[in-house]
Every structure is written in structure tokens, then in C-alpha cells.
Structure 1
Amino acid sequence: MSDDFADRKAAAADWFRTLRDRIVDAFEALEQEHETAEPAGRFELTPTRRHAEDGSDAGGGLMSVMRGGRVFEKVGVNISTVHGTLGARAQAAMAARKGLPGMAEDPRFWASGISLVAHMQNPHAPAVHMNTRMFWTPHAWWFGGGSDLNPAIEYPEDTEHFHAQQKAHLDPHGRALYPRLKAWADEYFYIPHRHRARGVGGIFMDDHCTGDWEADFALTRSIGEAFLPAWLPLAQKRRHQDWSPADREAQLVHRGLYAEYNLVYDRGTKFGLETGHDANAVLMSLPPLAKWV
């Protein structure tokens, strides 16, 4: 497979940046709408770089993090476009998982994507995660991503709304997609050592390549475009709700569960750290405060 994907790589990276801009604007607008004595939160922007083992530049991205806002206790919306060669461990893992021959002979890769995690001030407002990405090697290309809801205090109507929006955005690509990606999310976002899911699910896919790049990219865009209509109304509704010390306790304990998953099981965390990407960007998903009982 030759590297004839320059235009497609650029299109994917540009779209991830555009989605990031839309989400950041919406989040800062939500901060402004929620009038309190505290100043509205703003995103702090930090460029990130990945360096190859020989020290050469291997791409990077932009880490956008807001801390201590009116609505958000911590939220990050990161984008990155990185490239280089996979180390022996990553080569072996990818060859085993994807059945790709020739990784050792030509271990080049390119990856671009957006990753978002929001931890809220109000315990009734659900935490949320979303990412979409494109990955290329000389042997294959694929897309991945999804979003899932992580309430500390679940409201069935919120869960129903979140899933309904995912389904509405996926159905134009085939009505079999939503049930399959929902089931995949239920399996992927499960914490074996706790014998429970980390949240109330969503959608998830990985290694997605039908051979039709345009169709697969369109599906990936729909996953990203579902995020704001699925989650933003929930934050707008719950940000005003009164909460108690017991509610805050439930939130902190749930965040501990979230941290366990991301540090032990999450593929993106493992890949980012193993390939030398900026550790602060990789670990952006961790909550500002958490508790274990």
C-alpha cells in the first residue's frame, strides 16, 4: 500500500481541527451563559510536540484545557497529528491485533484525531468523553472513535437523549451501525476488575475500514457531529441543579472509577505514552480530583 493519502490525511486533520474549534466555542459560550460570581472559564492553549527516538520532530498538536470554570471543573479538547515509526512493541501489538504483515519491514505510521474529556462542577451534570481519529500505515488505514456518557448520578432521560442523538446521526449510514457500535462501546468501556461499566455507554468503533475512504470518513464526521447535540443540552439542564455533599462524594468516587479505566485499559492512553507523545496531553483525561473508598 503506497502513501498516496496526502490529500486525505490533510482533509482528516483539517476536519478534526474544525470540530475542535466548534466545541471550544460552544463550551466557552456555556461558561458565559452560566452567570455566577466566579469569572467564566477560558481555555488555555498549549502546543504539543512528539519527538522520535532520534530526537527529530514527529508532529504534534494543540492541548486546550479549561480549569476551574463556572460549569466545567476541568475540560480538555485536544487535537494532534503525529507521524514516525512504530517501536518493536507497538509493531507487534498492531500486527497481532490487525493481522498486518510487513510491519517490521516498514513500520511507518501517521495518526490524527481529536480527544475530549469534560469533568463538571455540578455532580448532576454528566462527565463525557469523545474522540475520533484516523490512522495510516503503508499497509492499511482505518478510522476509530466514539463518545460515551459518564454520569456520577444517572438520570434515565439523560441517558435516553444521549443515545437517541447517537442513533439519529448513525442511521443515515445504515441502521445496523448504531446497535453494533453501542454494543462495542458497552464491551470496550467495561472495567473487568470492578465488574461494571464506567458509565452508561455510547458508541465506539476501531479499526474501521470498509475500503471506501469517503464513506468511512463521512461516518467518522457523523460521530463527531453527534457530540454537541447529544451532550450539550444535558449540561445546560443540569448546571443549575442544587447538589449536596453526598452528591459531591458520589462524583469524586465515580471519577476514581474513570481514572482507573483510563490508566489501565484505554488504548489511546497506552498508544500515546508508548509512542512518545506529550504526556500531559495524553493524560489530560484524568479528573482534577477523585476519591477511592
Structure 2
Amino acid sequence: MTDDFTERKARASGWFRRLRDDIVTAFEGLEDSHADGPFADLPPGRFDVTPTVRSADDGSDAGGGLMSVMRGGRVFEKVGVNVSTVYGTLGSAAQKSMAARGVPGIESDPRFWASGISLVAHMRNPHVPAVHMNTRMFWTPNAWWFGGGSDLNPCLEYDADTAHFHATQKAHLDPHGADLYPALKAWADEYFYIPHRKRARGVGGVFMDDRNTGDWETDFALTQDIGRAFLPAYVPLVETRRTQAFTEADKDAQLVHRGLYAEYNLVYDRGTKFGLATGHDPDAVLMSLPPLAKWA
């Protein structure tokens, strides 16, 4: 499988990088176009781009990527768009976790390769929803799969925003099968549920993991369409809400909701756990955390 997947790995990692570039350009464009509203006196935000490095236990190169973070913009209070390609040997804890998920042969041959893009945006205006998006490919000598999705996390909910976000996801998924959107929506509802709060993190989206139908091209095409859906699903919501007036109570609700987001990511999120367990740059792994939050 190793030789057969060399070209496919390159295609997947190249796609994630191009998607990252498109999103960074679009988000900086939103900053440039926001010349009115509550934060118009601020300069437009720009991404600070930092290379990330993952080192193996023996100090050898184990891949890396780019951490792109914008702080203090007109529209985005903090947004991270990270892309990485890492490889090496999984530690014993990660091996056991993968084996428990049904990954074949992982304990006998724990070599791995993983590439993906991860995005989390926390917004200035509490009327603009926070958002998360991730797509990824994972490979071992005995298995491969895709995963990811996107979900909307408003502190002040608008039915029209939720409907648009979900309708855009559905439109991009329907060409892959009419049953796919309902299945991935239900998966997102389950995955982003916070048991100790007995509530969802947000208003959902789509999510998949361990996607391997046996047809790599088909699964890669689906993963790309999940990524392509993100900007048309989210940018119109930002443009609609970014200049809306808000109160101190609205801002307080935003900070409390950010606390909920932080709880989920630190306690339950599988990607956070994997990144920290495999030695990736902790700043890149934890870029999903909000800049400010509060608990009641």
C-alpha cells in the first residue's frame, strides 16, 4: 500500500493546502471590506503565519505545516487556519486508541501518515456565529481513511443562518448520494454533543470519520466537497451579521458560549487529543481555544 499511496498522499496534502489558501484569502477580504459597523476604527486583520514542526522521539523530522492565526481584526477576534502533514510511529496510547476504533494491524505496524486542515473562528460581533471546519486523510500500512466536516456555533441563534448553513452542506453532499447528508448531519449532532452539559455545542453541521468505502477517489471527492462547501456556507452569514448592533448582554452570552466551546475541545475533541498525544506543536493544536471566555 505504501508505494500505491505516494501519489495519493501528495494529492490530498496539496488539496488541503489549496483550501487553506482560499480560506485565508477570503477571510482577509472580509477584513478589508468591513469599513463600517462597531469595529470599523480597527485596522483590517491579517494572518500571522508560522511554520510548525513535529519531531520524532529521536529528534528526526516527522513533518509539520503552517499555523495561520489572525488576532484582533475588525471581523475576527481570533481565527486559526492550520494545515499540516505529519508522519512517524504512533506511541502505545495512540496505538491502543486506534485499535479500539477497529484500525487493522496498528499495533503490529504503528507507522502512520496524516494530513489535513483545521479551522476555528471566534468572532468580534456576538451576532456572527463561531465556526469550525476540518478535513483530513489518515494512512497506515494496513488502512486509510478520510474524516472531517464543519459545524456552526452561534451564541445568539438565528434560524435563517442555521438553515443556510445546512442547506449549503446538503447541496454539496447530495451529488454523492441522497442518504449522505442526513447521515453526516446525525453524526455531527452526536459527535458535538456535550454530555456533562446535556446539550449540543452549537447548531450542528456535518461530520464523518474513518471514511473508507474501498474507493479512494470517491471518498477523496466527498472530502473535497465538504471543504468546498465551507466558504459559501459561512461567508454570507458573516456578511449579514457583522455590522449588527449588540449589547453588553449579547457580549456576555458570547463569552459564556465560548466557555462551552473550550470545555468540549479540551475534554472530548478527538483531534485535540490526537495532536497532543502524537507530539504536534501544542500551540497549533490548541489554536481552537477562544481568546476570551467566561463561566457562569
Both proteins in one fold, TM over 0.5: yes
Residue 115 of structure 1 is aligned with which of 100, 111, 118? 118
* Cα distance in 2 between the residues matched to 1:140 and 1:3: 13
Q: State the Cα distance separating 1:3 from its structure 2 match.
A: 4.2
Residue 41 of structure 1 is aligned with which of 33, 38, 45? 45
Kept after mapping to 1: 8 A contact 2:103/2:143: no
Residue 16 (structure 2) aligns with: 16
* Cα distance in 1 between the residues matched to 2:103 and 2:229: 31
Are 1:64 and 2:73 counterparts?
Answer: no
Residue 197 (structure 2) aligns with: 194
Are 1:29 and 2:32 counterparts?
Answer: no
Could you give the per-residue CA deviations for residues 258-282 of structure 1, whole angstroms, max 9, x where no partner exists? 0000000000000000000000000
Are 1:79 and 2:89 counterparts?
Answer: no
* Cα distance in 1 between the residues matched to 2:242 and 2:187: 30
Kept after mapping to 2: 8 A contact 1:41/1:70: yes
Length-normalised TM-score, structure 2: 0.98
Structure 2 gaps, min length 5: none
* Cα distance in 2 between the residues matched to 1:188 and 1:62: 27
Kept after mapping to 2: 8 A contact 1:3/1:138: no
Q: State the Cα distance separating 1:58 from its structure 2 match.
A: 0.1
Q: State the Cα distance separating 1:227 from its structure 2 match.
A: 0.2
Could you give the per-residue CA deviations for residues 9-52 of structure 1, whole angstroms, max 9, x where no partner exists? 00000000000000000000000000112100000000000011
Q: State the Cα distance separating 1:106 from its structure 2 match.
A: 1.1
Residue 98 of structure 1 is aligned with which of 102, 109, 117? 102
Q: State the Cα distance separating 1:2 from its structure 2 match.
A: 4.1
Are 1:131 and 2:151 counterparts?
Answer: no
Amino acid at match of 1:21: D
Residue 235 (structure 1) aligns with: 238
Aligned length: 292
Q: State the Cα distance separating 1:99 from its structure 2 match.
A: 4.4
Residue 52 (structure 1) aligns with: 56
* Cα distance in 2 between the residues matched to 1:110 and 1:34: 40
Residue 177 of structure 2 is aligned with which of 174, 177, 187? 174
SS at 2:151 equivalent: strand
Could you give the per-residue CA deviations for residues 225-257 of structure 1, whole angstroms, max 9, x where no partner exists? 000000000001100100000000000000000
Aligned CA RMSD, in angstroms, stands at: 0.7
Amino acid at match of 1:220: T
Length-normalised TM-score, structure 1: 0.99
Identical positions, percent: 76
Kept after mapping to 1: 8 A contact 2:130/2:153: yes
